Structure 1
Amino acid sequence: MTRPGSTPSTTLAAALALVLGACCSSPAQADAITPSTATAYYKLTTDSSLAAPASNIDGPQVVAAVTPAGAVVPPTNADGSQGSPLTVLSSSHGFDPSQLVVALKDATASDGSPEQLLGLVFFGQGLQAGGELDFALSIDSALASNPPQLVSSTPGITISAIPDPTSTPTDTGGGSTDGETNVPEPVAFLFWAGAAGVIGLRARNRAGRRRAAPQPTT
């Protein structure tokens, strides 16, 4: 059964398969060039609400530059495909984690230097004012001791590095820290080259269901 307000996973999976087939290397190629990974932790906060995207959205709602470029490395799944580099931590609030879409872009800036952008879309209820996305990010293991910076270009959005919340603190008699996490659904990760099409598809499907819903009688 499909949850109200969500896009059927089969529809997104089919669209995503076309995206990944068009823009990504084969599993063998990916294994050859993917560096080993480590995990860094971040906190995204907002000082104003971010509404659920409109049906004509054509890209991520939140965009952050990754410094140094290429530092974010999607993990390789058992079947050779690439998984989401972002894992939502249980301390997050103010949005629906199952409706989060993650996009990653590796490109060349206008000056010829490499750049990497991380994009996010908050479907469902959007991101509420005062909401917080605490997340783990898969990064190049060479940067484990000096995690990359995520510089938001979206007004009102701030992203900062935080200590590992899953590490066991020194015992002070107060109990242990709950390190439970929530991994976004597999189709929630997109490569930027096809993100606009799939994001737009998801938004249009949501708008179509709202129009088709029975209206109350007066």
Structure 2
Amino acid sequence: MKKIAALCLVLVLSGFLANVCFSQNEAFHIELLPAKKGAVLAFSGKKHSFTVHIASDSIKTTDVPTYFTIDNQILQISCVAVPNGADLGNYNKDQQKTTLDSYADYELEYFQKELKISIKNLKREWVIIQNRLYLIWQYDVPAQKIGKLKGEELKQQITHQIFLSAIMHDQILDLNTPMFNANDPVKARKLLDDIAGSLKIFDKELDIPALAKTLE
């Protein structure tokens, strides 16, 4: 499993991302809390917090706090710091679209120029989930030389990648999943939609131990 997670890191991580979600104004502490039906991923900051629910009986963690394997589907849930601490929370819909489009453009350029990933059939779609605007962007990854990672031959080829991105306070919430040949794209999209639909927002720091008890 570590090999798959490591491959995912190579193909997904950008220069913005880190183990702790942060921006100029606020840092989030991340905790995965077991629940009766799956788990709750909590992002707790001093002024703002949020949670998402992952509904699955098979949730495996990796060495990176925001990476998981859900029923053999790799999943990343992360925040992206926006330069200069922009007050994204007060942006109107058009401003949000401009910001999210620019974010996707930046990431795509990074993937292609820095990670040398070929991208084809790029698609973008705007959707509203629980009154929040999301940019869905996805693309195919043509067959290419997989190579080696840490001395091990990589056995799987990523064929497609889906992202759901939304404004979250002064940051960008990003849900994404890479797909291999064995993965079902409909199931993968539903996983992201369900997680986005479970989003709960709090204008305070979370009491993680108290929250954990309510999920028992």
Per the shorter chain, which TM-score range? under 0.3
Q: Which structure is richer in relative contact order (CA contacts within 8 A, separation 6 or more)?
A: 1
Give the TM-score normalised by the residue count of structure 1. Answer: 0.23
Which has the larger Rg?
Answer: 1
Larger strand share, 1 or 2: 2
